[in-house]
Amino acid sequence: MLADGPRLGQKEASDEPDTAPRAKSEVFFFSEENMWTRPGCSNVLNDNALCPDGRDWFGTFHGAKRSDWNGGTVNAVFVDAHVEKVRSGLKTIDNQADYSDTEFDGFEKYGWPFKTPPP
């Protein structure tokens, strides 16, 4: 009888390389940015790119209250082509930047395409 473990051609979960991509439904392809700065985000539509590594952030204007334009959502198109309403990982609380909802210590949600943090 063979010992328990992977069979020829099978991989154990621990064999997965660090550069394994996230699911296509978990990585955004494009979205919307605000036309105004907010705490923690000095970039607006500055370069026709939304770089989710802490330089640019999702917008906040859909469904926002007139008293809080930084509290809404935007639509994001994901790599698998689905569209989803998302709230930025960069929040504004008491007019201060709050990064507690970011991914990988400062990335916009769904911005980093791998399962492990950036090096």
Question: Is 47 or 68 the residue whose CB approaches Ca ion more closely?
Answer: 47
CA dist 72 and 64 (Å) reads: 4
Residues that bind Ca ion (CB under 5 A): 46-47, 56
CA dist 65 and 34 (Å) reads: 15
Question: Is 39 or 115 the residue whose CB approaches Ca ion more closely?
Answer: 39
Find the shortest distance in angstroms from Cβ 93 to Ca ion: 23
Question: Is 43 or 87 the residue whose CB approaches Ca ion more closely?
Answer: 43
Find the shortest distance in angstroms from Cβ 60 to Ca ion: 14
Find the shortest distance in angstroms from Cβ 51 to Ca ion: 6
Q: Are 39 and 96 in contact (CB under 8 A)?
A: yes
How distant, in Å, are the alpha carbons of 19, 54, 92, 113, 114 from that of 101? 23, 12, 11, 17, 18
Which among 107, 108, 91, 104 has a CA at the least distance from the CA of 18? 104
Question: Is 103 or 115 the residue whose CB approaches Ca ion more closely?
Answer: 103
Residue with tokens 């802490």: 54
Find the shortest distance in angstroms from Cβ 77 to Ca ion: 16
